[in-house]
Structure 1
Amino acid sequence: MSAAPATSGAVSSDAVIDALQSALAGEHACVYGYGVVGSYLSDDAQAGARRALEIHERRRDDLRARLLALDAEPVAALAAYTLPFAVDDGSSARELAGVLEERLGALYADLIGVGAEGDLREFATGAMADTAVRAVRWGAEPTAFPGLQGRPGMPVPEDESGQD
């Protein structure tokens, strides 16, 4: 595990620590979920899931280090997670991967939104963009506001507003 980069004093606020904990919990869920995803894929898709898993493991470790640097006890992974739907083939595995990435993107958006500064903001912004790209690669619909779609106060695309 690499040491967390230095952060400013403003980063130690309770809101930032809570957002870091939420992002860490999301990374734990992604690591678990990609274990399920990979078991239903083969060839290139399985290799893509393996690469995504490695990225999420690195980010999980980075988030843990950042929390420890702020004297916060990192949230532990659960033994198991409830999947949002049944996964029983390659198609549903790809769908799950897209959902995992979209949900995680929202957690990184929250981290940015609470006022993360400097390196932490750069880390969260990069992670949010990366999850958006990966979600689309797995087949999710691209959104104008990755990680924020469907949240209160966010614009609704015209085709989803219910207006003709």
Structure 2
Amino acid sequence: MTDALQGLNKVLDAEHAAVYAYGLVGARTSGGQRSSASAGFNAHRARRDQIRALITARGGTPSESGAAYDLPFPVKAARDAARLAALVEDRVTAAYLELAAVDDSSLRRLAALAMQECTVRGYGWRPTIATLPGWPAGRPTAPQRGEPRTSPPVSLDQ
């Protein structure tokens, strides 16, 4: 199996899980949150169908959705559902990040757009920015006076 097909299959598995999770999120929310859950469900379902078609077009066999998925924590209330939705978006983003590393520029573009969409949706559920890969947790700080600078200072407070 090519790297592209492996990446697409990993993304498809993540999209299957996202569709399942958003069904649960919608069942545990109401009002604006339910509208957001419905939009997330529809977006992930559309991406899932797109990825399935890409796998088939490349000669692969798309994976099928599981009957159920283990959840990382109990989802009993709207607050739990929002936490699950944010986590789902983080995990789907991570799957697309791997797809962004393949040689095919059209798949890299698809991955970048999907990651952007997931990040925006995730921010709607949890309005914080996760630490970027390779960065220390917490707010970046400049070295203290006299400490060697190992990399340029980073500020996100612009």
TM-score (norm 1): 0.80
CA distance in 1, matches of 2:31, 2:81: 14
Larger radius of gyration: 2
User: Shift of residue 156 of structure 1?
Assistant: 2.4
Q: Structure with the greater relative contact order (CA < 8 A, sep ≥ 6): 1 or 2?
A: 1
Secondary structure at 1:75 match in 2: coil
Hey, what does 2:135 align to over in structure 1? 155
| Aligned-residue RMSD, C-alpha | 2.1
Letter in 1 for 2:76: D
CA distance in 1, matches of 2:116, 2:131: 12
Secondary structure at 1:87 match in 2: coil
Hey, what does 2:9 align to over in structure 1? 21
Kept in 1: contact 2:52–2:62 (CA 8 A): yes
CA distance in 2, matches of 1:88, 1:41: 10
Hey, what does 1:123 align to over in structure 2? 110
Letter in 1 for 2:135: P
Structure 1 residue runs of 4 or more that deviate by more than 3 Å after TM superposition = 157-160
User: What percentage of aligned pairs have identical amino acids?
Assistant: 32
User: Shift of residue 113 of structure 1?
Assistant: 1.6
2:94 aligned to which of 81, 106, 109:
106
The superposition leaves residues 93-132 of structure 1 with CA deviations (integer Å, 9 ceiling, x where unpaired) of: 0000000000000000000023331x22211100001111
User: Shift of residue 74 of structure 1?
Assistant: 0.4
Letter in 2 for 1:28: H
What is the aligned length?
A: 143
User: Shift of residue 134 of structure 1?
Assistant: 1.0
TM-score (norm 2): 0.83
2:126 aligned to which of 116, 127, 139:
139
Gaps of 5+ in 2: 145-158
The superposition leaves residues 47-69 of structure 1 with CA deviations (integer Å, 9 ceiling, x where unpaired) of: 11001100100000000000001
User: Shift of residue 133 of structure 1?
Assistant: 1.2
CA distance in 2, matches of 1:60, 1:21: 10
Hey, what does 1:85 align to over in structure 2? 73
User: Shift of residue 159 of structure 1?
Assistant: 4.2
Gaps of 5+ in 1: 1-12
Hey, what does 1:3 align to over in structure 2? none
Letter in 1 for 2:121: R
CA distance in 2, matches of 1:130, 1:99: 14
